[in-house]
Amino acid sequence: MNNYVLLFLVLFPLLSSFISYLIGRGNKNLRDYFVMAVCAIDLVVLILNFPNIYSGKTFECFVPNICGMTLHLQLDGFRVIYGIICAFMWTMTSIFSHEYFHHYRNRNRYYFFLLLTFAGTMGVFLSGDLFTTFIFFEIMSTASYMMVIHDEKPQAMRAGDTYLAIGVLGGMVMLMGLFLLYHAIGTLRISEIHDKVLQWTNNGQNAKNVRYIWASALCMLFGFGAKSGMFPVHIWLPKAHPVAPAPASALLSGILTKSGVFGILIITSQIFFGNSVWGNFILAIGTITMFLGAFLALFSVDLKRTLACSSMSQIGFILVACGMQAIMPGHIDFAARGALLHMVNHSVFKLILFMCAGVVYMNLHKLNLNDIRGFGRGKWFLNIAFLMGYIGIAGVPFWSGYVSKTLIHDAILHYLHELHHEGVHGFLQYDIYSIVEWIFTISGGLTFAYMTKLYICVFWEKNKDIQIQKKFDSMNKTYMTTLSKFAIGLSAIIPPIFGFTSVLTKQVVEDGETLLVNDGLMDRIAELGKSFMVPLGEHIHGSYLEYFSVDCVTGALKSLIIGALVYLIIIRPLLMVKDGRVRVYVNRWPDWLDLENAIYRPLLMKVLVGVLVFICKILNQVVDFFYTYIFKMIMMPICRILDKVIDGTVSVIRDIIFQALNSDKQGEAFAVLNEEKRSSKIVKEISNSLSFSLILFCIGLIVALIYLLF
């Protein structure tokens, strides 16, 4: 039975984007409030449906005959969680945008594409099959491009080119993967994929079928990974965020990247559930992404670029959890909960941090740490809000980030314990996972280090120019409106509330045995969304984790100590230099290590273009050969034979006509025959032309197409 509330959640912002544009042409303030209301209405509708979903119900909606397929929308535990997060983030950023864009031009265009992107993103998270996911994924990617290039500065346009290129290329490769998967198993419905894949890979030609599945999964991974910011297709993230408006950056980092993770979760949980090869592959990519993002953030001296590299790193943490899910079938509880909760946490953290960065930019129009240094001194509200995001993402105990990171860390430790218990040793079988665990801990430490650098720079240090610092201090009461404070403040209270409630537990009776389970707000969210991580019919045992045990707290403290040492030993002495009487931040990352400029752009603009030019030259030679030899040697004799046949036929017809006609009509007959002869000459001329050969070639293609179709 169709539940048209789901269709409303997608179509309402889609149609409202056009209405907002029309309103904005007459009244800009009314348009701003209209956009806020649209986002808030979607949020309220989802919250009203939350009790039904929490009680175990699932809603679906089908829209047939869309591109020959059926759009399938679904609302279950995972989807209601991310639907609420999506609507909440859009509501908060639309409220913040009212002040942020006050002096911007092209605001009408921005709000139009803001709502279009909202509709596309909501459609992705509510999709019940991969065809629907793809349709809304492309709407989201295309519409969000306009948010990246909103400033229309050269840096923004170049970043937009990169973003669009990655998005289009990823989308097309993803579509190839969907074609392969549909050809292989006959369905794209997410809840049916797992069973169909098992049937397909377990029948006759197993090796060939497995290759089909892997090819489709790798294509989809490229498409989804490009949007999530996964290495090595992460290059748009550090480029797009610094140039995009801060509210757009919050959405790009906090929610659009999760649309890519959404797809990777589908591949991992439905296609490769329990496949250790896939799990290790994702674990390797996640580990590189996690460490590289944190390492890049350490060197950055741009506020928003640092947060962008941080997003890449946090996506790596989530991918590590995804990899552990596939490796540990039947015992994936910690990994599944950690993946989902860190997705939620990262969305909230980046919403807070990018809006705080937006406050800095809309007052100073600068992002370099040396220019904005000391801006936050005396601004207690902004200080506390940024602090909530900072210590949350760093994994400090009693904040929400600590819970999700502890779950992921414990999943790795649990697997190491299993291997040790089974007597498994060796580098590839055991030690490699110990290395992953250490990289996880170090990456957490780097997170604490670069976030400490940002916090101390903006809120503790003084600007080297005394006059500028006095100007900063004079803004302490006028730097932000009440409406913006509401959006930032409401977002900032979430990490501590989630974190402090993690101490809650309850007792449940299962199979006659009394068990202790976690009962904090985050644990309830994880339990609600966990069914999405596990295919239908599969059962996993829930696990209790004492978040504040000595082992868990020790793991977090290791990261924090490493981060403090990195800040004191590396950032202060090595990534800052003396400038007169003060030290300034410098970016020591070499320009030649930029993957986009060093590899991707030369590869696409020079190597690929060169290959295409070479292919065109070869094809030109083939055409010349075809015309010079094949056409003249084969087609010309045929045309001469046809010409003789036509001439012979004309002669016969002439004799017949001469006998049949009276003498007074012979002149007219001669005129007709002369015209026939001229026609045969025209046939000769046509048959000698390249156009004629191309026409024949096209006819051959049409015949081949008709044969393939029918």
What residue segments make up the domains of the chain, in order of their start? 149-589, 595-709
C-alpha distance from residue 448 to each of 342, 391, 442, 672 (Å):
16, 8, 10, 95
Q: What is the pTM of this model?
A: 0.84
E strand or H helix at 508:
strand 505-510
Select the more confidently predicted residue: 611 or 313: 313
Provide the token pair at 230: 């996964």
The answer, yes or no, to whether residue 328 has pLDDT greater than 50, is yes
Average pLDDT over residues 392-401: 91
**Stretch among 505-514, 623-632, 674-683 having the lowest mean pLDDT:** 674-683
What tens digit of pLDDT does each residue of 529-574 get?
A: 888 887 765 666 667 788 888 888 998 999 999 999 999 999 988 9
SS3 assignment, position 341: helix
What tens digit of pLDDT does each residue of 156-196 get?
A: 888 888 888 888 888 888 888 898 888 888 888 888 888 88
For residue 690, what pLDDT band results from cuts at 50, 70 and 90? very low
- State what percent of residues in the chain have pLDDT above 90: 36
CA distance 637 to 146: 59
In degrees and rounded to multiples of 5, residue 585 shows phi and psi of: -80, 135
pLDDT for residue 695 = 46
For residue 475, what pLDDT band results from cuts at 50, 70 and 90? confident
Provide the token pair at 523: 């644990």
**Residue of 517, 335, 343, 336 whose CA lies nearest to 414:** 335
Select the more confidently predicted residue: 445 or 474: 445
Average pLDDT over residues 626-645: 66
pLDDT for residue 365 = 87
pLDDT for residue 467 = 80
**Nearby residues of 417 by Cβ (< 8 Å), 6 or more positions away:** none
> What is the rounded average pLDDT for all residues in the chain?
82
CA distance 704 to 696: 12
Query: Virtual CA dihedral for 39, 41, 42, 46, nearest 10 degrees?
Result: 140
pLDDT for residue 202 = 67
What tens digit of pLDDT does each residue of 649-685 get?
A: 767 766 665 665 554 445 554 444 444 444 444 444 4
C-alpha distance from residue 685 to each of 628, 672, 673, 691 (Å):
16, 20, 19, 11
pLDDT for residue 321 = 92
Select the more confidently predicted residue: 634 or 518: 518
**Nearby residues of 218 by Cβ (< 8 Å), 6 or more positions away:** 177
CA distance 236 to 156: 11
pLDDT for residue 686 = 41
The answer, yes or no, to whether residue 597 has pLDDT greater than 70, is no
